[in-house]
Structure 1
Amino acid sequence: MATDNIQVREAKDSDLNNVMAVEKEAFGSEEEANLVSNLLEDKSAEPVISLLAFKKNEALGHILFTKATIDGNTSSPLVYILAPLAVKPKHQRQGIGGMLINEGLKKLKAIGAEMVFVLGHESYYPKYGFKQNAARMGFSPTYPIPEEHADAWMIYPLSSGSIDEFKGRVVCADAMNKPEHWRE
């Protein structure tokens, strides 16, 4: 398998250049890199889970999970938003994104997170257990999503029962709380 020599570890402050390089190359623009940079400095996003995938000394992929809340619940469960997931183009379709997702979900479960949300590719994330159309389950996104993209708003339940216990609008970290970040 292509992921044999890949290591995934938590990103440190000293990894910022690697994180930015992966984001820029994966998305072909500064937009996601700027979002990641802003989220990493955003107190409302903490505690973040930021993971890098390496092969030898080259950073190939990055994933970021930031804290969110569920509006209207006095004791919101610990919930996260996955955004973004980036893998350098020449290393895509090799399982690196999946490694990052699985490692992130494992770390989130270990800290007691109950749900993870993503606005992402409708055929990719369900392969890793994400359930489409979280709004239909009672979790509306921070900003409205057009009906034709409703399935792109997904949830991954990390604990049983929390989906039935809580409902409401998912409120993301301040740096992501802008309509332009909510387009699939």
Structure 2
Amino acid sequence: MLAVERLAFGGEVEAGLVAELIADPTAQPHLSLLAHVKSRAVGHILFTAVRLEGAAPGLMLAILAPLAVVPDAQRKGIGCSLIEHGIRLLGEAGVALVFVLGHPGYYPRHGFEPAGRHGLRAPYPVSPESAWMVRPISPSVLGRVQGRVICADALDRPEYWIE
């Protein structure tokens, strides 16, 4: 999976972040999925636990970070499949909302919408604001909770919050 991150992003930053998140107890539980084509790893997605400032302790939330597809396998639906499969598994596990800081032209086709319009703030200020998104798995939760998302310690660095 770390090789996929290195190839997809062209360096060590995201691979290092993934390794840190998987080892970080504040990121638990996490969901890590690896996509293969003909036994070659071509995509990886990681969801880690987050919490909402002031929310009830039982509310299960996650963040998608990062999503990686190796360059020669991009634009073939692999990222879409990883997102949808991950969201389905998170829903089965009781996760209510999934957050992402990502491209506003990509993630809305997977049900993500600007989180700010629901009073859900990123751990750090982001620009553009439309890049901070939420996907409701339990739609009834939207509008009932608001506040700032608190992420895992490994992700709680300002340099990771630039889109």
What is the TM-score with the length of structure 1 in the denominator?
0.87
Aligned partners of 1:70 and 1:76 also within 8 Å: no
Distance 2:58 2:50 in 1: 9
Match of 1:114 among 93, 96, 99: 96
Q: What residue in structure 1 maps to residue 121 of structure 2?
A: 140
Cα deviation for residue 80 of structure 1 reads: 0.3
C-alpha RMSD over aligned residues? 0.9
Give the C-alpha shift of residue 159 in structure 1: 0.5
Question: Please, which moves more after superposition, 90-99 or 76-85?
Answer: 76-85
Q: Which residue of 1 aligns with 2:132?
A: 153
User: 3-state DSSP class of the match of 1:108?
Assistant: helix
Largest Rg, 1 or 2: 1
Is 2:13 the counterpart of 1:31? yes
In structure 2, the partner of 1:43 is 25
Q: Give yes or no for the alignment of 1:20 onto 2:2.
A: yes
Cα distance per residue 1:6-59 (max 9 Å; x no partner) = xxxxxxxxxxxxx11100000001000000000000011111000000012100
Is the 1:87–1:97 Cα contact (8 Å) retained in structure 2? yes
Partner of residue 182, structure 1: 161
Amino acid at match of 1:174: D
Question: Is 1:81 the counterpart of 2:52 in the alignment?
Answer: no
Identity %: 48
What letter is aligned with 2:101? L
Q: 1:92-111 residue pairs with structure 2 within 5 A?
A: 92-111=74-93
1:22/1:60 contact within 8 Å kept: yes
State the number of aligned residues: 163
Structure 1 SS opposite 2:6: helix
Quick one: distance in 1 between partners of 2:73 and 2:40? Answer: 11
* Structure 1: distance between partners of 2:109 and 2:139: 19
Letter in 1 for 2:138: S
Contact 1:69 1:76 in 2 (8 A): no
- Structure 1 segments unaligned to the other structure (5+ residues): 1-18
1:172 pairs with 2:146: no
SS at match of 1:164: coil
Distance 2:14 2:104 in 1: 19
Q: Distance in 1 between matches of 2:147 and 2:49?
A: 16
Q: What is the alpha-carbon distance in structure 2 between the residues aligned to residue 23 and residue 145 of structure 1?
A: 23
Segments ≥4 residues shifted beyond 2 Å = none
TM-score (norm 2): 0.97
